[in-house]
């Protein structure tokens, strides 16, 4: 299960989907500061994943 999730996180479409969901959160009344904090955390996690995970062939 973990490998499947990590494999999906490496795909650009998944990263774009995460960004889209965070953008849409504002429409549902989520406070802007919460959206910013979650966006920064997601960006940091994806950056760490990009450093340590090998690229698939």
Q: Characterise 31 by phi-psi region: left (phi > 0), alpha (psi -120 to 50), beta (else).
A: beta
Per residue in 1-57, pLDDT tens? 878 887 887 788 888 888 888 888 888 888 989 988 988 888 888 788 778 777 766
E-strand ranges in the chain read: none
Q: What is the pTM of this model?
A: 0.61
Q: Do 7 and 56 touch, CB atoms closer than 8 A?
A: yes
Enumerate residues 6+ apart whose C-beta is below 8 A from 14.
8
* Residue 14, SS3 per DSSP: helix
Q: How far apart are CA 9 and CA 36, in angstroms?
A: 20
């Amino acid at each position: 299960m973990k490998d499947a999730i990590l494999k999906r996180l490496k795909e650009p479409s998944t990263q774009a989907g995460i960004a889209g969901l965070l953008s849409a959160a504002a429409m549902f009344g989520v406070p802007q500061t919460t959206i910013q904090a979650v966006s920064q955390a997601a960006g940091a996690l994806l950056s760490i994943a990009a450093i340590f995970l090998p690229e698939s062939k």
